[in-house]
Structure 1
Amino acid sequence: MFRFISALPFALGALKLASAATVLTGQYTCDTAGDYTLCNDQWGIANGVGSQTSTLISASGSTISWSTNYTWANNPNDVKTYANVLSNTAKGVQISQISSFPTTWDWYYETQSSGLRADVSYDMWTGTAQTGTAASSSSSYEIMIWLSGKGGIQPVGSLKTSGISLAGYTWNLWSGTTETWTTLSFVSADGDITSFNAELTPFFQYLVENEGVSASQYIQAIQTGTEAFTGTAELVTTSFSVSLSG
Structure 2
Amino acid sequence: MRSIFGLAAIASSVAAQTLTGAFDCMTSGQFTLCQNLWGASAGVGGQNSTLISTSGDSISWETKWTWANNQNNVKSYANVESSVAKGIQLSNLASAPTSWSWTYKTQSSGIRADVSYDIWLGNSANGAPASTASSFEIMIWLSGKGGIQPVGSQTTTGVSIAGHTWNLWKGPNANWEVLSFVSANGDITDFSADLNDFFTYLIDTQGVSTSMFLQAVQTGTEPFTGSADLLINSFSVTASAK
TM-score (norm. length: structure 2): 0.98
Tell me the residue number matched to 2:207.
Answer: 212
Tell me the residue number matched to 2:78.
Answer: 83
Report if aligned partners of 1:67, 1:235 keep a CA contact under 8 Å in 2.
Answer: yes
Tell me the residue number matched to 2:109.
Answer: 114
Note the alpha carbon deviations across 1:87-137, whole angstroms, 9 max, x for none. 111100011111111001000000000010000000000000111000000
Note the alpha carbon deviations across 1:35-60, whole angstroms, 9 max, x for none. 00000110001110000000001112
DSSP-derived class of the 1:81 partner: coil
What's the CA shift for 1:12? 2.1
Tell me the residue number matched to 1:3.
Answer: 3
Tell me the residue number matched to 2:119.
Answer: 124
1:102–1:219 distance in 2 versus 1, CA, 3 Å: same
Note the alpha carbon deviations across 1:18-71, whole angstroms, 9 max, x for none. xxx100000000000010000011000111000000000111221100000000
What's the CA shift for 1:11? 2.9
Which of residues 40, 45, 67 is equivalent to 1:45? 40
In 2, the alpha carbon distance for the partners of 1:219 and 1:61 equals 21
What's the CA shift for 1:2? 1.6
1:117–1:7 distance in 2 versus 1, CA, 3 Å: closer
Q: Identity over aligned residues, as a percent?
A: 58
Aligned length: 241
In 1, the alpha carbon distance for the partners of 2:46 and 2:7 equals 22
Report if aligned partners of 1:6, 1:30 keep a CA contact under 8 Å in 2.
Answer: no
In 2, the alpha carbon distance for the partners of 1:105 and 1:90 equals 15
Q: Which amino acid aligns with 1:191?
A: G
In 2, the alpha carbon distance for the partners of 1:106 and 1:5 equals 29
Which of residues 50, 61, 65 is equivalent to 2:60? 65
Report if aligned partners of 2:8, 2:24 keep a CA contact under 8 Å in 1.
Answer: no
What's the CA shift for 1:5? 4.8
Note the alpha carbon deviations across 1:211-232, whole angstroms, 9 max, x for none. 0000110000111000010000
Q: Which amino acid aligns with 1:26?
A: G
Which of residues 13, 18, 22 is equivalent to 1:23? 18
In 1, the alpha carbon distance for the partners of 2:238 and 2:8 equals 24
Report if aligned partners of 1:50, 1:72 keep a CA contact under 8 Å in 2.
Answer: yes
What's the RMSD between the two structures over aligned residues? Answer: 1.0
Note the alpha carbon deviations across 1:173-217, whole angstroms, 9 max, x for none. 000100100000000001100000111111000000100000110
1:232 paired with 2:227, answer yes
In 1, the alpha carbon distance for the partners of 2:29 and 2:136 equals 27
Tell me the residue number matched to 2:128.
Answer: 133
In 1, the alpha carbon distance for the partners of 2:9 and 2:223 equals 21
In 1, the alpha carbon distance for the partners of 2:10 and 2:43 equals 27
Which of residues 167, 178, 182 is equivalent to 1:183? 178
Tell me the residue number matched to 1:170.
Answer: 165
Runs of 4+ in 1 over 4 A off after TM superposition: 5-8
In 1, the alpha carbon distance for the partners of 2:214 and 2:7 equals 19
